[in-house]
Amino acid sequence: MRERFHEHLDSFAATLAILCESSGTAMREATVALLRADLELAEKVIDDVGRIDQLALGCEENAFTLLALQAPVAGELRQIVGGVHIVADIGRMGGLARHVAQVTRRRHPDQVLPDDVRTEFAEMGRVAVAMAATAGDVLAGHDPERAAGLDLDDEAIDEMQSRLLVHITGPAWEHGVQAAIDVTLLARYYERYADHAVQVGRRVVYLVTGSNPPGSGALR
């Protein structure tokens, strides 16, 4: 029975890594759709995130089944409960990619981004997708050291968001209120996506060590 239980735990962990990869794909495609005003690709992202939501729901149900039918000891219990929180973080990452795609759909056929912020958003998308890939690797390998790199990428996205906010509130901004609102919302989506990727990494550190990463505070 214990061997079978650990097989289920391994499958649960593998599904988390797949979810993380899928959320990264969703954000990469959402960013491409945003930059190209590609309605078809935006619609695909929205549909794909719906499937991510279903997979996440099934993953949560599997976790609760493991809790109900087995008697996990401390480390196993930490893995299952922590995994449920990770599912929630990855689900929110997918949801934020969907928000980016929805902005593209809402403004179509118009281009959402003015030319003077497109490079910044392309870079935010690149970093966010790289963070999802790193989080997936951390999940698959249970590697706390790799998780530390997520904080650096998160800081880079925070800095880009700050520059965008300064730009849209400064005298050089000539694109009106609606464009400023769109840029503000989109920058926030990427910033929150990065935050959840960092949370995934920190939760893996907790699963492996039983302690929160230094300076991270209590995991939410």
What's the pLDDT score for residue 99? 98
Residue 162 dihedral angles phi and psi, to the nearest 5° = -60, -40
CA 8-92-110 angle, to 5 degrees, is 135
**Which residue ranges form the domains of the chain, and what is each CATH number?**
2-209 (1.20.58.220)
Highest mean pLDDT (candidates 28-37, 56-65, 68-77): 28-37
What is the C-alpha to C-alpha distance for residues 97 and 33, in angstroms, rounded to an integer?
Answer: 11
Interval 157-179: pLDDT, tens: 999 999 999 999 999 999 999 99
pLDDT band at 76 (very low <50, low <70, confident <90, very high): confident
Indicate the residue type of 2: R
Residue partners of 60: CB distance under 8 A and separation at least 6: 84, 87
DSSP 49-79: HHHHHHHHHHHHHHHHHHHHHS---HHHHHH
- pLDDT (tens digit per residue) in 128-158: 999 999 999 888 887 878 888 899 999 999 9
Confidence of residue 51 (pLDDT cuts 50, 70, 90): very high
